[in-house]
Amino acid sequence: MTHQQLPPPALEVRNLSILFPAEGGTFHALRDLTFSVQPQEFVCILGPSGSGKSTLLRVLAGLLPPSAGEIRYADGKPPRIGYVFQQANLMPWRTAIENITLPLELQGIPRAQARQQAQELIELIGLKGFEEVFPRDLSGGMAQRVAIARALIQDPDLLLLDEPFGSLDALTRERMGSELLHLWQVRRKTVLMVTHSISEALLLSDRVLVLTPRPGRLALDFRVPLPRPRSDEMRYTAAFGKLSRRLKAAIG
Ligand SMILES: Nc1ncnc2c1ncn2[C@@H]1O[C@H](COP(=O)(O)OP(=O)(O)OP(=O)(O)O)[C@@H](O)[C@H]1O
């Protein structure tokens, strides 16, 4: 029998709990979560409102210390992280390209060099022609493309996406999902993405982690058995419908 050796996980979460202060004491936002993520894996986190999905991303980003348990990263130290939120949070006085280059400028990288690096991402993410547009003149989808490019420009090892398409209309959301898929196929990052959309999770990810209602525990760690490359057409297949029902039942 051959033994297939897996690379060390990009991150391991062990018995993670998060307690927050509440009236008269504390409450568990997350309780005893254990899972690991492989390098370049695309993992979606699904769960009802308040199940601790955003809290989990904040812990993984190092913005919130675990109350109990631990997080281990592949080479022992926290990876470079790119973080994208539901709102693009762009600087209104900077153009699209100037928002993208900002993280590099803050690192002291010369402006011309930063712009050159941004240009490659602009083409990859469908922002060509919008470089000099200010945020007020960008559509929601375009603004979110800028936010994703800004997160990618530092070449993060780990991309954390917190409902990045949550504020977009359904059609733009589908298109952005396909573009993210394309981006991931080209750049191959380890991705953890929070979403409320079962179909988005199935179409994009290798694995879906479903959290229970508060306190968030792991209800299901589900490997998506759909072949890659994935296409939008898959949404309309019987297999996809069956998987959707399975996830819906797990969310409750
Ligand atoms: N800093 C904090 N202090 C106290 N309670 C908090 C804090 N941050 C989050 N919470 C609470 O922890 C719980 C989990 O919140 P979190 O935002 O992680 O859930 P979520 O699954 O991302 O929700 P949604 O899907 O609505 O975005 C909620 O009850 C929230 O009110």
CATH of the domain at 22: 3.40.50.300
User: What is the structure's pLDDT at 77?
Assistant: 83
Q: Is 224 in contact with 43 (CB distance < 8 Å)?
A: no
Give the residues across from 28 on adjacent strands.
19
Final residue of a structural domain among 156, 172, 187: 156
Tokens of 217: 């525990």
Same domain, 224 and 203: yes
Backbone angles phi, psi at 14, to 5 degrees: -125, 120
Alpha-carbon distance of 182 to 118, in angstroms, equals: 18
Same domain, 10 and 75: yes
> Which is it for the CA torsion 202, 205, 210, 215, positive or negative?
negative
Among the listed residues 145, 122, 123, the one whose alpha carbon sits nearest the alpha carbon of residue 135: 145
What is the ipTM score, two decimals? 0.98
User: What is the structure's pLDDT at 52?
Assistant: 96
Dist. CA 29 → ligand 1 center (Å):
7
Tokens of 214: 């508060």
Q: Residues for the chain: how many in total?
A: 252
Final residue of a structural domain among 136, 156, 176: 156
Residue 2 has pLDDT above 60, yes or no: no
Residue of higher predicted confidence among 194 and 8: 194
Tokens of 90: 């762009």
Q: Element (H or E) spanning 154, and its range?
A: none
Same domain, 150 and 226: no
Residue 3: pLDDT band (50, 70, 90) is low
Same domain, 59 and 150: no
Alpha-carbon distance of 31 to 191, in angstroms, equals: 22
The b-or-e profile of 187-220 (16+ CB within 10 A means b, else e) is: eebbbbbbbebbbbbbbbbbbbbbbbebbbbbbb
Q: Element (H or E) spanning 20, and its range?
A: strand 11-22
Residue 49 in contact with ligand 1 by CB distance below 6 A: yes
Dist. CA 57 → ligand 1 center (Å):
11
pLDDT in tens, 78-112: 899 999 999 999 999 999 999 999 999 999 999 99
Same domain, 103 and 137: yes
Tokens of 169: 């209309």
Same domain, 151 and 168: no
The total domain count for the chain is 2
Final residue of a structural domain among 156, 179, 208: 156
149 lies in some domain: yes
Residue 199 in contact with ligand 1 by CB distance below 6 A: no
Dist. CA 51 → ligand 1 center (Å):
7
- Residue 104: give the domain boundaries: 90-156
Alpha-carbon distance of 188 to 112, in angstroms, equals: 26
State which of 17, 20, 64 you would mutate to test the pocket of ligand 1, scoring each by most atoms of that ligand within 8 A of its C-beta: 20
User: What is the structure's pLDDT at 1?
Assistant: 46
